[in-house]
Amino acid sequence: MSESWIVGINPVEGALSNDAERVREVLVEHGQRNARVLDLAERAKKLKIPVQHRPRDELDKLAGEARHQGVVARFEAAPAAHESDLAALLERDGNDTLVLVLDGVTDPHNLGACLRSAAAAKVTAVIVPKDRAVGLTPVVRRASAGGADRVPLIAVTNLARTLRELKDAGVWITGLAGDTDTTVYGVDFNGPVALVLGSEGEGIRRLTRELCDFVAKIPMPGTMESLNVSVATGVVLFEALRQRSAKR
């Protein structure tokens, strides 16, 4: 188990509602009058979770770049997934395997939002390269709205090797890029599938793209040329779910 700090009203509320057994203590800013913060403190007390009052600067230090809104919680997260766990996860989900691969998403808000969508879509695992991703920082956890603790995030040392392992396991890989005529609505997402998205600026890397079975785009008839990566993630994940549910 590893401990981290959950920061802000909604993330702390989510932890108390869904994972209260992992919340070790709640810290509330001295003099806090926000009704929602006070309600969280009362809920924690009823759950026998210690509640401490601390000066604002202490909460600022724990929150880092995130906005704590007067409340943080010390959280004992489940053990982090390791790349050696991937094979068991693929076997567990079998034909329902849905993997999200993020190649170069380094912004913590985007990563957190992608994890939120992945958790909502019941993704098997989210895979990131170790050298091109942020860790589970307080900002990531806040942006994920609890998703960071509901979907395995696997940081791999060699993304190309991992993609080959997915292919060997029978997973069909689709990368997203704008310079193709194929759209995500024209790709069959039934069966074991991995979806690969890159950074907004560079997109997926050349070798990553070469290892994809398909390359598709999200059609955009408007004047914008691209979507935020977390928005694109949500679009393609739920297109995959739409197709899969239609076949059942």
pLDDT above 80 (res 135): no
Q: Which of 43-57, 164-178, 219-233 is predicted with the least confidence, judged by mean pLDDT?
A: 219-233
Annotated ligand binding at 218? The verdict is yes
Predicted confidence band at 142 (pLDDT cuts at 50, 70, 90)?
Answer: confident
Same domain? 97 vs 143 = yes
pLDDT above 90 (res 79): no
Same domain? 166 vs 192 = yes
On whether the CB atoms of residues 24 and 75 are closer than 8 A, the answer is: yes
- Write out 79-126 in H/E/C secondary structure: CCCCHHHHHHHHHHHHHHCEEEEEECCCCHHHHHHHHHHHHHCCCCEE
pLDDT above 90 (res 2): no
Same domain? 134 vs 228 = yes
Same domain? 71 vs 152 = no
pLDDT above 90 (res 161): yes
CA count, 13 A, side-chain hemisphere, 197: 28
Same domain? 203 vs 142 = yes
Q: What is the mean pLDDT of the chain?
A: 89
pTM as predicted: 0.80
Q: How far apart are CA 6 and CA 137, in angstroms?
A: 9
Same domain? 129 vs 218 = yes
- What is the domain range of residue 227? 83-246
Q: What is the mean pLDDT of residues 56-64?
A: 90
pLDDT given for residue 225 in this prediction: 67
pLDDT tens string 91-101: 999 999 999 99
SS3 of 185, please?
Answer: helix
**Closest to 197 in 3D by CA, of 149, 148, 230:** 230
Q: How far apart are CA 190 and CA 179, in angstroms?
A: 24
Domain boundary among 77, 98, 123: 77
Same domain? 44 vs 90 = no
Annotated ligand binding at 154? The verdict is no
pLDDT given for residue 146 in this prediction: 72
pLDDT given for residue 78 in this prediction: 67
Same domain? 141 vs 233 = yes
- Write out 125-172 in H/E/C secondary structure: EEEEEHHHCCCCCHHHHHHHCCHHHCCCEEEECCHHHHHHHHHHCCCE
CATH of residue 15: 3.30.1330.30
**Closest to 109 in 3D by CA, of 134, 143, 133:** 143
Domain boundary among 29, 57, 77: 77
On whether the CB atoms of residues 194 and 96 are closer than 8 A, the answer is: no
Per 3-state DSSP, the chain is made up of helix, strand and coil in percentages (nearest 5) of 45, 25, 35
Annotated ligand binding at 198? The verdict is yes
pLDDT given for residue 223 in this prediction: 63
Same domain? 55 vs 148 = no
Same domain? 96 vs 159 = yes
Same domain? 68 vs 101 = no
Same domain? 57 vs 90 = no
CA distances from 90 to 38, 168, 189 (A): 43, 11, 16
Predicted confidence band at 137 (pLDDT cuts at 50, 70, 90)?
Answer: confident
CA count, 13 A, side-chain hemisphere, 218: 21
Q: What is the mean pLDDT of residues 150-159?
A: 91
On whether the CB atoms of residues 196 and 212 are closer than 8 A, the answer is: yes
Domain boundary among 27, 46, 77: 77
Q: Which residue has the tokens 């019941």?
A: 122
Number of folded domains that form the chain: 2
